[in-house]
Structure 1
Amino acid sequence: MLRGVMFAAAAFAALTASAYAAEIEVKMLNQGAEGRMVFEPSFIKANPGDTIKFVATDPSHNAETVPGFLPEGAKEFKGEFSQDVSVTVEKEGVYGVKCLPHMGMGMVALIAVGSNYPNLEAAKGLKFTGVAKKKFEALLKKAEESKSAALAQ
């Protein structure tokens, strides 16, 4: 009987958590408010269990993780070109995202999950070039500010 009660409680908790999970839409654009070849928004604040939906608003883009730019234990993803891709983020931390053919033009994004980013310092040590380097530096600064604000509460 105790096992049945524990199972029911666990099932209820899982259903309740998923009921509060959000779906966050990110557009893949040739031209946006932040310039050419962009994810909009490029800084995505999410909670564990939220789903990020990358929408192929304009053709010839994809969304995929940057190798080595994930929290430990998080799953990599790679969307197809000109196709929407949805990703559910489970692990707290920062996730680097790129459009494979347009990364050199700065088409990158950062997903900051939760309020504690255990891989933030490691992400700051990753090496990028050109526009992607500048964009990731700015996005990591936003993540750091977000973490500081959460700790201050």
Structure 2
Amino acid sequence: MLKSRFLVTAAAGLLLMAAGQAAAADLTIKMLNKGADGLMVFEPAVVKAKPGDTLHFVPTSPSHNAEMVAGMVPGGVPLAKGVMNKELVVKVTKPGVYVFKCNPHYAMGMVAVIQVGAASNKAAVVAATAAAPPQARRRLTGYLARVN
């Protein structure tokens, strides 16, 4: 009886783990020269993700990259930096707000905000926007207003 109870519990645990992995999504963010928000944008610029989701930053034209902005990610998350003109793939596992930029177009406001689960570090990210270039700061302010 004890052995069968153990097997049922183990099987239930494996099913729950498999269900959690199956629920993970692949999300695509395009790097564009022109989009709904103007020139040099990520689309979508604000993404709601779940822990375990995978982000695909896809360049649609030359001269773009995606990289995390220091001080604008949850604590303890190693910064990811993509190569120019190549897709950057990032699996997000820690809840919080993540800000990505295109390094060559950061001053033009090419930023994206990814909310993974609860936005526990939003206040710190909002404070860090003061150091961003003016156009990036303007877009970030609007994008962060959509994070809850």
TM over 0.5: yes
Q: What SS does structure 1 have at the residue aligned with 2:146?
A: helix
Aligned length: 143
Please name the residue that 2:92 is paired with.
Answer: 89
Residue 130 of structure 1: which of 109, 128, 134 is its match?
134
Q: Is residue 70 from structure 1 mapped to residue 73 from structure 2 by the alignment?
A: yes
Residue 103 of structure 1: which of 74, 87, 106 is its match?
106
Q: Greater Rg, structure 1 or structure 2?
A: 2
Unaligned 5+ segments in structure 2 are: none
- TM (normalized to structure 1)? 0.85
Once the two structures are superposed, residues 23-56 of structure 1 have per-residue CA deviations (whole angstroms, 9 ceiling, x without a partner) of: 1111001111211111011101111111111111
Task: Measure, in 1, the Cα distance between the counterparts of 2:133 and 2:98.
Answer: 18
Q: Matched residues, percent identical?
A: 43
Once the two structures are superposed, residues 88-131 of structure 1 have per-residue CA deviations (whole angstroms, 9 ceiling, x without a partner) of: 111111001000110000000000111x2110111111121210
Task: Measure, in 1, the Cα distance between the counterparts of 2:75 and 2:11.
Answer: 30
How do 1:2-21 and structure 2 match up within 5 A? 8-21=11-24
Task: Measure, in 2, the Cα distance between the counterparts of 1:5 and 1:71.
Answer: 37
Unaligned 5+ segments in structure 1 are: 148-153
CA deviation after TM superposition for structure 1 residue 73, in Å: 2.6
